[in-house]
Amino acid sequence: MARRYSWKPISKKCRICGRESPLIASILGVCPDCIRERFHEAQKYIYEAHRASRERFSLPYPTPSSPDGKLCGLCARMCRLKPGEVGYCGLVVCRQDSKLVRLSGGPEWGVLDWYYDPLPTNCVAEWFCPASTGIGYPKYAVVKDGPEIGYYNLAVFYGSCNLDCLYCQNWQYREYHLMPYNKRVHVDELVKAADERVTCVCYFGGDPSSQMVHALLTSKKILERARRENRIMRICWETNGQVNMELFRKAIELSLVSGGIVKIDIKAGTPQMYKALTDGDFEIVKKAIQEVAKHFKKRPEVPLLNVSLLVVPGYIDETEVEAMCKFLNEVCPEAPVSLLAFHPDYLMTDLPPTSRRHMNTVVRIVKEYGFRYNVGNEWLLGDYY
């Protein structure tokens, strides 16, 4: 049964073509067709939306890119900072002597929260992962058939991100850079936490990409401990794919050998919509997916890659889903696809949750391309539009 959600449809007018629809988000004020077909005109509204979002939390916008600035390079943003500037993630500062200071404290420290999440969890790959299904037993799962009840996922929530999703479901991470010293966690704390009750670690947030060095070091030490104690330990990632590719390859390898899954949120199917919703570069997330796809067949018993898509009302329409499917069909047609129902949050609270009718259309397209799929947050679906 669908959960009741109170939403009053108020029609809004596209600032470019004048089209009226209750599914135009006020923060953008532009319809999906104009975003894709008249992007040059839409850019100023997209810029205004993300500038307003970033200013709310004293985060820089646009990406710091001084030609003679100091290169950070830890993620795909490739910020170039001049003295006094802060990186897009909020955790890197350029001193007056042009040296970069990382507010996390360095490779052994991360700005994050962590907690124990009882298995099976509500992660996007829950419907096919070893923790919930037993696939890959006995090498990658504790239980042969079914969930690892009584065990835990060590959930590591990083307090930084290199995107600016206007509908962010975990927008609170934006506050972490304002109090980084209160949120610092040492590698050894996480290694200690990954005890005999834990069978998997998942890095999310925010996003692990802007603190990937810390995540890699943590993963290495946790796996070393698990191997000494002859225990199963899977390393998983939930990421936007805006990654430093050299570091990302190491992350992929850790998941590959441990039975973990690389979960990439593709967010859209066209570069214009991706930019509008996230302020990111669509080509980079495509390259990240392609990189994981290269290794997909090395471990057939547990899918290495999971691609997720949040079905945003009014914006992730048939055009976006069709484009996503065409791309995935070319690079990794075997990849499981997770379709997630939208919940109004952050700066897109004037949109409703995803309509069941909308989700059914998305499912139809995904099925036509032959993808294995799952619908998450199904309880949010309703007859909203």
The pLDDT tens digits for 125-170 are: 999 999 999 999 999 999 999 999 999 999 999 999 999 999 999 9
The token duo for 166 is 């206007």
Residue 206 half-sphere exposure toward CB, CA atoms < 13 A = 30
Tokens 């820089």 correspond to 60
Q: How many CB atoms lie within 10 A of CB 26?
A: 13
Residue 167 half-sphere exposure toward CB, CA atoms < 13 A = 28
Question: How many helices (H) does the chain have, and how many strands (E)?
Answer: 10, 15
Radius of gyration of the chain (CA): 21
CB 217, CB 106: distance < 8 Å: no
The CATH number that domain 109-380 falls under is: 3.20.20.70
Share of the chain above pLDDT 70, in %: 99
Question: How confident is the model at residue 106, as a pLDDT?
Answer: 83
Q: How many CB atoms lie within 10 A of CB 236?
A: 27
What is the Cα–Cα distance from 151 to 258, expressed in whole angstroms? 17
Mind listing the pLDDT tens digit for each residue in 13-61? 999 999 999 999 999 999 999 999 999 999 999 999 999 999 999 999 9
Confidence of residue 4 (pLDDT cuts 50, 70, 90): low
Residue 24 DSSP symbol: S
Tokens 């959600």 correspond to 5
- pTM for the complete prediction? 0.97
Asked if pLDDT for residue 3 goes beyond 60, the answer is: no
Mind listing the pLDDT tens digit for each residue in 283-320? 999 999 999 999 999 999 999 999 999 999 999 999 99
Share of the chain above pLDDT 90, in %: 97
How far, CA to CA in Å, does 63 sit from each of 51, 146, 168, 264, 276?
A: 11, 45, 19, 22, 15
How far, CA to CA in Å, does 130 sit from each of 145, 339, 348?
A: 9, 20, 35
Q: How many CB atoms lie within 10 A of CB 208?
A: 31
CB 206, CB 176: distance < 8 Å: yes
Asked if pLDDT for residue 241 goes beyond 60, the answer is: yes
Tell me the average pLDDT of the chain. Answer: 97
First to last CA, the chain: 17
CB 49, CB 315: distance < 8 Å: no
Question: How confident is the model at residue 2, as a pLDDT?
Answer: 47
Asked if pLDDT for residue 1 goes beyond 70, the answer is: no
**326 contacts: CB under 8 Å, gap ≥ 6:** 269, 369
